[in-house]
Amino acid sequence: MGYDSQGRRYYCIEQNIATDYSIRSVEAMPDSVLTRTLGELLRQYQYTSNLEYMQPALAYIVHEALDTSDGEYGWSSVRDSVQRFYPAAITKAEELYTLARAAVPTDIATRITYTDGKRAGIVHLDITNIDGAPTSGTEYELELEGDAVFTDGTQRKTGVTDGTALEFGWRATDEGNVRVRAAMQVQGLDHVTSAQDFIRLSEPITVESELEQFDVHTLFSPSLVTQTVPEIVNIGDTVTDDVTVLTEGENNYWPNNANVHATGWYFADIPNAMLDSRITAETGELARDFIARLQRWGFTPHAFATATFSHSGQQQRVQARNADGTPYRVPETTAEGRELGTWVWAVERSDQSPSVQQLMLGDWVSDFLEPTETHTVRLPELDEEPEQPTDENTDEDTAEDDEIGTEDTAEITPSPDSHDDEGNAAAVVVSPPRAHSLARTGVGIAAAALACTVIFALGVALLGRRCRAAQYVTELSAPNTSETHVNTTDFTDNPHM
């Protein structure tokens, strides 16, 4: 063993040749686990005193690893003598080599895991020894290139391994790709050519890992799937809706620990003719602007609802409410022909927390009169009115008093079974058509009353007519020497006939 003016130690690797302590050439030895191990031992202990056979142990390790000399004075011959005369040095050498085996890094690699969609995660830096365990004392450098930074905002980390797994959090800064570069420092050796060859420590060697690449995505685009339930509602019913939030599409991930707030507007009194007239928000149009546009066209929200979600796929059943928070109910003023109701739902960027707002590009808005969001109001039907009483002088075939609409007319026809012997009508039947709407009830009652009045008048007229017929028969049967003449105008000129 020798040293130079810089204090560097030289260790002999040719036992059978005498040295002249001159340097003819120096060449870096190829990097290998062996050179790293020897370099690590020399780096740590080359200046340690001879205490506990440190230097003889190092010399023994170097000869055992690199000395190929043979012959009477070669290492293969001398080894047995060293082991026999210096057993303590051999024991120390074995101890040092075991320590070096654990400390020397043999592999470096990086792994990427995602913790928040593809917008955040961890870089795992694995610097391990020959047994696959993390090393201690190895200098390293870790660097990100592209659309991500470490959690402290930098893109570069340096340090020294401490025998534990190395993990570094990162977060994406944009949509794109990230490259991970990692490197470690290992101890190298120089081969020194002299009369007797030596080795010495060289400058550290940088060993890089394989390049790691991964994709990052920051954007978040929640959407809603909704279904109005039930599809038909009655006057006085509350209005409910099933709302489900989804994260559809590739690389659309729900942010960790995030809540998403949604707002719904309920519209009523929509003409039935608009059932297929779907209206869609313009690209980039804010939800509030879309609602304002609908209002300009005459569609004003009647009620509102809100929902908050904590994960994709979550469903809530919501109830429409008035502005004061009370449940909205289908009003009695719902008009025939305007029986449609529909929802418009939105996830508004401005309603979200600042952290979620950073991930959203804009609002999500559903269509107006979307089929799954549209229902109909069932109007009540008019109940049948009981039969109206008829004059006792009429026959059994009287009119049925059903509901009569505003545009309906009562038809009055002679009963085919009610004629006297001369073929004259003896009774009437009133047959009004059935009404179709509760709104016509008052007019129906008035029409029924009119029919009864007509029946009564005709009955009185008929009674008078029958009386005149009886008088006529009496006159025919009475003895009269003069010629009798029947004036038929007595029947036809009656103003009640």
The answer on pLDDT for 452 being more than 50 is: no
Alpha carbons 171 and 149: distance in angstroms, whole number: 6
DSSP class of 364? E
Alpha carbons 408 and 434: distance in angstroms, whole number: 9
Burial label for 368, CB within 10 Å (0-12, 13-18, 19+), is buried
Q: pLDDT tens digit string along 297-348?
A: 999 999 999 999 999 999 999 999 999 999 999 999 888 999 999 999 999 9
Provide the pLDDT for residue 384: 47
Q: Are the folds of 107-189+203-216 and 223-378 the same?
A: yes
Helices (H), 32-128: 33-45, 54-66, 75-85, 87-103
Q: pLDDT tens digit string along 422-447?
A: 444 333 333 333 333 333 333 343 44
| Mean of pLDDT over the chain | 81
CA 256 to chain centre: 13
168-182, 229-243, 298-312, 422-436: least confident range:
422-436
The pTM of the full predicted model, rounded to 2 decimals, is 0.68
Alpha carbons 179 and 216: distance in angstroms, whole number: 11
The answer to whether 54 touches 92, Cβ cutoff 8 Å, is yes
The domain defined by 223-378 folds into Immunoglobulin-like (2.60.40)
Provide the pLDDT for residue 382: 58
DSSP class of 13? -
The answer on pLDDT for 64 being more than 50 is: yes
1-10, 92-101, 243-252, 323-332: least confident range:
1-10
Residue 413's identity, in one-letter code, is T
Q: Where are the domains of the chain?
A: 2-103, 107-189+203-216, 223-378, 382-497
The answer on pLDDT for 493 being more than 90 is: no
The answer on pLDDT for 393 being more than 50 is: no
DSSP class of 439? G
The answer to whether 340 touches 258, Cβ cutoff 8 Å, is no
Contacts of 359 (CB under 8 A, 6+ apart): 119, 218, 219, 220, 255
Provide the pLDDT for residue 52: 79
Q: Which residue has the higher pLDDT, 1 or 336?
A: 336
Provide the pLDDT for residue 314: 98
Residue 309's identity, in one-letter code, is F
Hey, what's the torsion of the CAs at 242, 246, 248, 250, to 10 degrees?
-170
The answer to whether 172 touches 118, Cβ cutoff 8 Å, is yes
The domain defined by 107-189+203-216 folds into Immunoglobulin-like (2.60.40)
Percentages (nearest 5) of helix, strand, coil residues in the chain: 25, 30, 45
CA 16 to chain centre: 78
DSSP class of 372? G
Write out the DSSP string of 448-478.
HHHHHHHHHHHHHHHHHHHHHHHHHHHHHHS
Q: Provide the token pair at 23.
A: 């340097």
